[in-house]
A and B are shown apart, each in its own frame.
Chain A
Amino acid sequence: MLFGPHETNLGRGRALSARHVAHYARRAAGGCGVVVTETASVHVSDHPYERAPLAADCGPGWADVVAACRPHGSLVLAALGHTGAQGTSAHAQTALWAPSAVPDVVTREVPVAMEQPDVDALVAGFAAGTRVAVAAGVDGVEVDAGARSLLRQFLSGLTNARADGYGADRARLLREVLAAVRGSLGPGRVLALRLSCDEEAPWAGITPALAVRHVRELAPLVDLLVVVRGSGLAPSAYRPDGHVPPGFNTDLTRSVRAAAGGTPVVLQGSVVDAAAAQRALDGGVADAVEMTRAQLADAGLVRAVRAGRPVRPCTLCNQACQVRDVRNSPVSCVADPSDEEPLPDGAGRRVTVAGGGPAGLEAARLLASAGADVRLVERAGRLGGGLHTVAALPGRARFADLAGWLAGEVARLGVRVDLGTAADGGDVVTTGARARAGVTAAAVLAGAELPPGPVLVHDPAGAPAGVGVAELLAAAGREVVLVTPDAVAGERLGGDLGPANARLARAGVRRETSSVLLSAGEGVAVLADRWTGTERSVPCAVVVDAGPPLPGDVPPGAVGAGDAVAPRTVLEAVLEGRRAARAVLARAAP
């Protein structure tokens, strides 16, 4: 089991921090076999995000990670890389390096084609980074030739148009890097390679067939091979959200393993379910599995599996763990948004939690685990609340798994659950938001019938609900118009923005961007252009409001949490459920 390299924004400057150490140590303590640290740049020409580690600055941090993880039996590999043309010049304010002056589709920055002194400096950087890591006591290093890497840019016909030896033999640089790293690594340490084996751009990119050829050549040079996919043209393919089925690299990895000549191969790619991972290992797909997001959701995944305990599921939402974002928020998880700290003893305390959504379930779970006598009151006929609304969206079904896990834990811990019961007060109130008037996206997701005719989804939020409801309605055969004030649909979707717009286009959803909804009635809606005010009409039998609801009610004296306080996402609900549990226990016993 690997905990793969991922951006965390936990660093201090370009060094690893104490928060990094705690982040990795939690997973090591949870039974993870191999911790691969956040990819460190091997040269100052690469500064892809503000807190991107720089290998030269990482020695003390790597040593601390090793010291924290080794007692748990985990190996620590230091990931080394360079993002080349897929970085940004925003931080270093120098031209990006690339094999050829081909701009990346996302950054649109024209890079400088590396000359021999630059190539030499890059290879030397990998060697120097390895020496720093070895001096820190790591068990090995991982070289990044994955979806976002300069080494992949050299391997690929999409980006390497060089006329020199590094163009005629596109794997030459990677071989030189691996040789230099091996030389610096010395005996007894692991050399791993993260390799993009499908760039999803078959006209010039690395195809699975070509990858097999690469692997025949490269696998003998390394001790561990992590099979990944993605490229500058398929940036979201590496770690997509739930719109892509889990385990999507299974066939690719199986074929690569056959060519790897016995070098152990790792399955990566939305592996979030322990049983599926075991099947992949049993079925000869791979020798190990990388479950990064699954271990963000449940740091103790391996121990839980060994003990037969249910694992807190990853929702594959990418909401809080995909942090390559200019805002620099630290890595987190909607299901586990804070490090769980011990609660005050709740023995002898009787606590009523009103509302069985994510906030109430999490509060009840923690209160019960602290020994309190907990009663959970839920108005609906099942637990989960808003989690089921979210789970009804395309690609978000795993939110129902989170509801199931929370309900199971609450039951296991002996919480008394009263379903179909209106809340009669309570110590913790998590009864959710208050709906706006009209037809809301939440109502549609809950199964509300719409009148026949064209549907206008009004989306002032740009969040998953608007796009998702539009997709669902289109899939049900409805004529759908999505109206947004933004220049693009789903502006807040992060990594799913591009894929979501493509899905809407393919579904035939008409996107009315930069538009304000003025009125609707009698079969038409009147829209105004946001900038010019020019009005136009679109057919509309019903408007579905994808805007946020209103805050609910928290009676005086109760501790509120989640949407009842202010409608936000599952992350805030879970986090505030935790805080509410603590706040209740911190109060003097009645």
Chain B
Amino acid sequence: MRHLATPLRVGPVTLPNRLVLPAHLTNYAVDGAFTERHAAYYAARAAGGAGLVVTEEVSTDPADRPYEKLVHGHDPAVLPGMRRVVDAVHAHGVPVVAQVNHNGGQSDSLHTRTPVLAPSPVPDPLFREVPREATAADLARLVAGYADVAARCAAAGFDGVEVQAAQSSLVRQFLSGATNRRTDRYGGPLEHRARFLVEVLAAVREALGPGRALGVRLADEEGGGGGTTLAEAVATAGLVAGLVDYVSTTVGVATATLDRVVPPMTTPPGYARPVSAAVRAAVGVPVVGVGRFLTPAQAERALADGDCDLVGAVRAQIADPEFAAKALGGRAGEVRRCLGCNQDCVGRVGRNLPLGCVANPRAGREAPLPVPRRRRRVLVVGGGPAGLRAAATAAARGHAVTVWEQAPCTGGAVRLAASAPGRDGLRPLVDDLAAECARAGVTVRTGVRATARAVLAAAPDAVVLATGARPARPAWAGGSGLVVDVREVLAGAVAPDGDVLVVDDLGTAAATSVAELLAGRGCTVEVVTAALVVGQDLGLTLDRPAWERRAVALGIRRTTERLVTAVDGRTVRLLHHPTGATEERTVDRVVAVTPPRADDALWAALRDSGLEVHRVGDCLAPRRAGDATRDGDRAGLAV
């Protein structure tokens, strides 16, 4: 990790190493201000070795509020919160920069009840509100707004600011021919479209004064529609490099191609390296490269290859705040890896919920582990994500923990889910948890079938039940031998061939990935759902675009608004519920992707036994992996 460990001067600021925590939304703001939660969150990453922290965006204009929990940088009342963030990060000797932004037309008036402003009245593809075209007077006011916020950041003690000119920003909309149709001196050729950015950077630099760094975040190509090309993006970097101390790169437009900004687990690590490499070749200031760096080795390689001067990794440091310290301290193998599952980071933030993490249930809840009064013997039954998380947390607190797992290996339902195409990114969740348990001294016994009698005989001080769920046969399956559960298919207990109907009642990747598995094996596959979309939750995790492409490539037929009513021989009866029309399919197999049933037999046998019993994960209620790790962590804290 020689390159990662090398300090770097960025303008007047020296970074202790090359790992950056780039700007990302957290929804931790309350009343438009940074909170203690923000401070603790950033401080944990600084304590964990990050070389530079960039805060989430702070807005320059009261008329800009695309989402509820935006930080109102324009409001003088945010100053105390800014100072808390600065002090919390500086306490670990790490520089911290605020990202300054105006979202322009990538917003709507829901929260402000005033028209959104943009270079031209072109509705954003996500927000879809027709903006008001900014006048020359608006632009002068907006530039002054950037300067005002920069001055506030300087007063708060930030080491600098980063002007957002990518992803979601008014500056990006000026730079892009798709959104800038102006005929005045802010529109037309690139030099004109960049005028607003140049004016903003000049004003911000002046407001910052000496001794503070100024960065800019620039976009790559926007993919058609007259939008920015990579060549233009590189040219823009060249135009403004002389005005800034660093350039941070990114790919994708937040309101059009968010799956490129925060790609799902099917996107290969380092996918955006060519962008930073192209920019770096054109500018003389340090360049931040980003793009799903999951391991320290991937980050080190990007630096060694000269694709960037600094590596930005958001999700890797959400999942493991100590990513950098482990990388630089010879413990790279101990990093708790980001899965790219997007369920609790972008999947929650997109729903106006506080940022969380499936792999790290304490993300956004940074607090020291409570020390128990005495060391207790804890028995965890079930080695899936809930049980392993409970064991690791309890052991980290000093308890003597044993895990009993029925299967030959730990991992539970996650290991099964990870066996499907495109879902192998889930596997590090349980692999890393098992490793964490091992380091914490947890005794893991596999192939142990727990009974109430055995648990009572072991006489632990506390029991955590994490026994998971089992398939529940849907009513429409009747006695049909054609119908199998998705788990049986993934486990290899059944190998469908021929014509397969996948019935999706969950809307998760379970149905789509088993469809891919079977189509890949040569089956003719149709996925049917009563919902309006197959795999509706894939939208939240940004898996949809890639799934749609893979489904087309594999010839998977997707049918919506149909309920399965019966399976009769090889005939499956469907009801088109909006119209009441009936249809039939003749198939060789039906794969049911339906809600499983909690396996709570041990709970029923032990809850009144007098033992301290906790129930976590799917054996409480079959839910998602993040629910399992959160339940497990809570139980590990409670015992």
By a beta-carbon cutoff of 8 Å, the part of chain B in contact with chain A is 67-68, 109-111, 113, 115-116, 121, 123, 125, 128-133, 348, 351-353, 505-507, 532-533, 536, 539, 544-545, 548-549, 552, 561, 576-579, 595-598, 607, 620-623, 627, 630
Q: Verify if A461 is at the interface (C-beta below 8 Å from B).
A: yes
A231 to chain B: closest CB distance in Å? 15
B130 touches A572 (CB 8 A): no
For window 102-126 of A, CB contacts with B under 8 Å fall at 103, 108-112, 115
A50 within 8 A of B: yes
CB-based contact B131/A566 at 8 Å? yes
CA A337 to CA B113, docked complex, whole Å: 9
Indicate if the CB atoms of B579 and A498 lie closer than 8 Å: no
B284 shortest CB reach to chain A, Å: 38
| Chain A: interface size category | 35 or more
Question: Does A278 sit within 8 A of B, measured CB to CB?
Answer: no
Q: What is the 8 Å Cβ interface bit string for chain A, positions 286-311, against chain B (1 contact, 0 not)?
A: 00000000000000000000000000
Interface assignment of A18: CB less than 8 Å from any CB of chain B: no
**A550: chain B residues within 8 A (beta carbon):** 121, 130
Contact A572 B128 (CB under 8 A): no
Determine if B552 and A101 form an interchain contact, defined as CB atoms under 8 angstroms apart: no
Residue contact B561 to A327, C-beta cutoff 8 Å: no
By the criterion CB–CB under 8 Å, are B622 and A506 in contact?
A: no
A112 engages B129 (CB within 8 Å): no
Within 8 A of B (CB), among A254-312: none
Instruction: Please provide the 3 A-B residue pairs with the shortest distance between their CB atoms, ordered closest to farther.
Output: A505-B578, A502-B578, A95-B621
Interchain CB contact under 8 A, B113 and A575: yes
**How many angstroms between the C-alpha atoms of A274 and B350 in the bound complex?**
41
Instruction: Decide yes or no whether A514 CB sits under 8 A from chain B.
Output: yes
Are A93 and B130 within 8 A (Cβ)?
Answer: no
**Contact assessment for B115 and A565 in the assembled complex, using a CB-CB cutoff below 8 Å:** yes
| B597 surroundings in chain A (CB, below 8 A) | 101
B544 touches A329 (CB 8 A): no
Nearest CB in chain B: distance from A243 CB, A:
14
| B479 CB to nearest chain A CB (Å) | 20
Q: How far is the CA of A460 from the CA of B126 in the complex (A)?
A: 10
Main secondary structure of the interface of A (DSSP, over half): loop
> CB distance B352 to A461 under 8 Å?
no
Total contacts A to B, CB within 8 angstroms? 120
Chain B residues with CB under 8 A of A565: 115, 132
B121/A487 in contact, CB under 8 A: no
CA distance A73 to B306 in the complex (A): 76
Contacts A93-B630, A95-B620, A95-B621 hold; do A501 and B561 have CB atoms under 8 A apart?
Answer: yes
Inter-subunit contact B507/A461 (CB<8 Å):
no
With A110-B623, A488-B532, A505-B578 as given contacts, are A327 and B67 in contact (CB-CB < 8 Å)?
yes
A112→B621 contact, CB < 8 A = yes
- Find out whether the CB atom of B123 lies under 8 angstroms from the CB atom of A548: yes
For A549, the chain B residues whose CB sits under 8 A away are 130
Quote the shortest CB–CB distance from B507 to chain A (angstroms): 6
Asked if A101 and B131 make an inter-chain contact with CB atoms under 8 angstroms apart, the answer reads no
- B627→A93 contact, CB < 8 A: yes
In angstroms, how far is the closest chain A Cβ from the Cβ of B227?
Answer: 15
- B506 nearest CB neighbor, chain A only: A108
Q: A329 to B111, Cβ gap below 8 A?
A: yes
| CB–CB B110/A532 < 8 A | no
Rounded to whole angstroms, the CA-CA distance of A296 and B352 in the bound complex is 26
Which residues of chain A are within 8 angstroms of B533 by Cβ–Cβ distance?
Answer: 487-488
Nearest-CB residue, chain A, relative to B131: A566
Shortest distance between the CB of B130 and any CB in chain A (Å):
5
- Known contacts A530-B548, A566-B121; can you find 17 more A-B pairs with CB under 8 A? A90-B353, A101-B598, A110-B596, A112-B621, A327-B68, A327-B352, A328-B352, A338-B113, A461-B128, A487-B539, A487-B544, A488-B532, A488-B533, A497-B532, A529-B548, A566-B129, A568-B109
Q: A167: CB under 8 A from chain B?
A: no
> Complex formed: what's the CA distance from A550 to B118 in Å?
13
Residues on the B chain within 8 Å of A108, using CB: 505-507, 595
Q: Is the CB of B128 within 8 A of A492?
A: yes
Among candidates A488, A531, A568, residue contacting B548 with C-beta atoms closer than 8 Å = A531
B552 engages A326 (CB within 8 Å): no
Chain A residue numbers with a CB within 8 Å of B132 are 551, 565-566
Q: Check A96 against B68 for contact (C-beta < 8 Å).
A: no
Asked if A548 and B128 sit within 8 Å, CB to CB, the answer is yes
Give the shortest distance, in Å, between B25 (CB) and chain A (any CB). Answer: 14
Q: How far is the CB of A582 from the nearest CB of chain B, in Å?
A: 14
A568→B115 contact, CB < 8 A: yes
A551→B607 CA distance, assembly (Å): 66
Report A-chain residues with C-beta under 8 Å of the C-beta of B110: 327, 329
